Amino acid sequence: MEKDEYASAAIKGDETALLQRIEMDKQQLYAIAYSYMRNEDDALEAVQETVCRVWVKRRTLREPQFFSTWMIRILIRVCLDARKKRQREWPLERDIGRRERLGQADDAAERLDIAAQVQLLPPKYRMVVTLKYYRDMTITDIAKLLEKPEGTIRTWLNKALKTLRADATMLEGGERNDGWRGSEYGTKRT
Amino acid sequence: MMAGEEANTERNERSLRADRERTERELLQLPEEALDTAIRNGLSMGRSRAIRGRRGKIGIGTLAAAMSMLLLLTAFVKVSPAFASIVRDIPGLGGFVELIEGDKSLLSAVNNEFIQPVNASDEKNGYKLTVEGILADEGRLIILYTGEGPGITDQSEIRDFKLMDGGGKDVIGGISTSFFPGGDESEAKPIIHNYVDVVMGEGIPIPERIRFAARLGDQWLEVAFPVEHERFSGMSDTIRVDRSFAIAGQRFTVTDAIITPLQVKLTIESDSANAKRSNLLIDIALVDEMGRKYTSRGGLGELDGKITYLFQSSYFEKPKRLTLVADGLLLSERNKTFVINTDRLATLRTPDGRMRLEEVEDVGDSLKLTILVDGLNETETKLGYDLFKHKGAFKDASGQTHRLLDRDGIKRSIRNTETGSTHLIYYFIPKADYKQPLTFDIKQYPGYALQEVSVPIK
């Protein structure tokens, strides 16, 4: 059977065909999930949830040849939602998100390398950065996937890049008597 | 400005590409089996979800179930009935629950009704800034505020704000704000809840009146409110401790502890005769007789000398006993030098083979030195190192002294590795024709001793 035939059978409820069709895209699926989540467990969970939604929604896919795009769109939605869920579950992330102000250094914030900074971006920015820089997609590809005009994707990307700190550095307050020392909080991150 | 932004964007693109390479390497180890399992599990989840979904459409059962779930979720937030009544009294306070939940001191204070309602607003050009309430004790002030207006959502970050006393003078202290980038913007709420956290400097009282200004969009707004000192007067328990302890031969004395509703301040002095420089007490915390742990969120001052650590407050828990615990000490040798040749990009002398000159970059009027410290393990990763003194001096080979340039403090970038981290620390020196090599005095560098300590505080 050809790719589209598997997809076509999957839409009709053929589980084996669905598994075979997903098999063809599984590396790409995992690569996107991993690039966004940056850890194996979350990436696998995202893939699992995606397959679940693919099965539930399979009848909404009219054209079997668009199976890959359609599935990746679902994955993207899952990734964006997963982040929300995580924030509820992990109050620690909030500490990492704390940005220090007015000449005060936060060791947690200092530790933010570029990967961590990307993770702190609003989800849609984080997703376009992931697709563009980690998955080498073109603006056109991303626009199609996210069903947004190319201009919007460019704007998001620019905003994301501006938000990221220069050279992944953070400022520290320097040595001063009222400056913070010690680093006991919010220092762990995955 | 634009050029700066472009340079920033370019640098970010470079960093992203480098990080992408790391991701690619990680992706080479595809967890094939786990991935296949996830796919199969997903399918079976899909099967059962599809059935549930159909049932849901039949009646209102699901709605009722969803509502009880909502109640259940609310119940998970560990708030007391007192808090519930405060939420009723101060409309809009509910939005702060999630924010303060992460801070044991704040949660405990609110549960004990230790809150001053304010509910004062400023409105201009469609923007509105409201201070809903404050938490204050003699050394710490938390301002709970909301912002609304065109383009403001719970995803917005308020970057610009000012804190002044009644006379318009800046409030001096450690000031931080919580920024919690939320989830999906399409579901964003049109209001931002945030708080400003002020830890007053030593001996500086909380002002009687605070003026809080913040920029929403392009609009500056200002709300002024009194801080009712009578709410916290007398709520302070000072304990004279005067107990000494030693780690790896370095001696320290815990001098005193001040317990107030929003924090515990504990001062530690190091012995001036200590042979090595003390950089950080590892995993320092207070533990009470019930085993409850109050962690530290940093300190004011320097451990090698005098430091006042700030811990989560035990004030409302009223423990009978409190013990200071730590797992060891980050320390380094004194009087070490770092000798480099910036023309040849060479490290000639270093206190630690893992520390070396990585890059010298001409950035207009100055030279940017990138110093790499790699191979740090998990323990050594607990500190961002100040290799040289801020605005310190260095000497060239002719013996002439020069100063490090001040670039708003010390910049560093820290990348976590599987076993710890790699640090890049940046210093700026004036662009000049130096007689090489250059000699820098080391302030601190990685090194540690693990040793559990336990000091009774009360």
Contact B201 A178 (CB under 8 A): yes
**Lowest mean pLDDT across A103-107, A128-132, B90-94, B342-346:** A103-107
* CA dihedral over B270, B275, B276, B282, signed as positive or negative: negative
Q: Are residues B351 and B316 in the same domain?
A: no
Give burial (CB, 10 Å; 0-12/13-18/19+) of B68: exposed
ipTM over 0.90: no
Nearest chain A residue to B46, by CA: A52
Which residues partner with B266 through β-bridges? B257, B309
* Domain boundary pick from B231, B251, B281: B231
If one counts the domains in chain B, the total is 3
- Select the more confidently predicted residue: B100 or A57: A57
- Element at B375 (helix H, strand E): strand B366-377
Residues of A in contact with B302 (CB under 8 A): 181
Residue B142 lies in a domain: yes
Are residues B90 and B219 located together in one domain of the fold? Answer: yes
Say if residue B347 is in the same domain as residue B200: no
Question: What pLDDT does residue A63 have?
Answer: 85
What's the gap in Å between the CA of B229 and the closest CA on chain A? 23
Choose one of B197, B213, B231: the last residue of a domain: B231
Position B56 in a domain: no
Question: Which among A40, A44, A180 is the nearest to B174, CB-wise?
Answer: A180
Same domain, B250 and B183: no
If asked whether residues B280 and B423 sit together in one domain, one would say: no
Question: pLDDT (tens digit, 9 = 90+) per residue, B167-225?
Answer: 998 887 777 776 554 445 555 678 888 888 888 877 789 999 999 999 998 899 999 99
We report the CATH number of the domain holding residue B112 as 2.60.40
- State which residue of chain B sits closest to A90, comparing Cα positions: B102
- Given a cut of 70, the residues of chain B with pLDDT beneath it are 1-3, 48-94, 97-98, 101-102, 178-188, 407-410, 416, 418
Asked whether the beta carbons of residue A183 and residue B34 sit closer than 8 angstroms, the reply is no
Please provide the distance, in angstroms rounded to a whole number, between the alpha carbons at the two ends of chain B. Answer: 55
Neighboring chain A residues of B299 at a CB cutoff of 8 Å = 180-182
Same domain assignment for residues B427 and B352: yes
Chain A residue with the nearest C-alpha to that of B51? A56
Tell me: domain A1-89, CATH 1.10.1740.10, correct? yes
Q: Which domain holds residue B387?
A: 337-441
Predicted pLDDT at A83: 55
CB atoms within 10 A of CB B32: 11
Confidence of residue A184 (pLDDT cuts 50, 70, 90): very low
* B116 shares its domain with B199: yes
Q: What is the pLDDT of residue A15?
A: 87
Q: Which CATH architecture has domain A96-176?
A: Orthogonal Bundle (1.10)
Closest CA to B271 of B243, B252, B247: B252
Model pLDDT, residue B198: 85
Residues B213 and B297 in one domain: no
Judgement on whether residues B296 and B362 belong to the same structural domain of the protein:
no
Q: Rounded CA gap, B424 and B413, in Å?
A: 5
Q: Which of A111, A118, A125, A189 to mutate to test the interface with B (most CBs of B within 10 A)?
A: A111
Same domain, B217 and B97: yes
Question: Is B286 part of a structural domain of the chain?
Answer: yes
| Burial per residue of B382-395, b for 16 or more beta-carbon CB atoms within 10 angstroms, e otherwise | bbbbbbbbbebebb
Residues B277 and B394 in one domain: no
Q: Report domain extents, chain A.
A: 1-89, 96-176
Per-residue pLDDT reduced to its tens digit, B306-348: 888 889 999 999 999 999 999 999 999 999 999 999 999 999 9
Annotate A128-139 with DSSP letters as a single string. HHIIIIIS---H
B184·A181 Cβ contact <8 A? no
The answer to whether the CB atoms of B298 and A92 lie below 8 A apart is: no
> Which one of B270, B306, B413 makes the best mutation probe of the A interface by having the most chain A beta carbons within 10 Å?
B413
**B147, B129 contact by CB (below 8 A):** yes
Helices then strands, each counted (H, E), chain B? 6, 26
CA distance A115 to chain B (A): 7
Nearest residue of B to residue A189 by CA position? B416
Distance CA B298, CA A108 (A): 11
Cβ-defined contact of B408 to A122 (cutoff 8 Å): no
Residue of A nearest to B31 (CA): A40
* Cβ <8 Å between B409 and A162: no
Token representation of residue A3: 């790719």
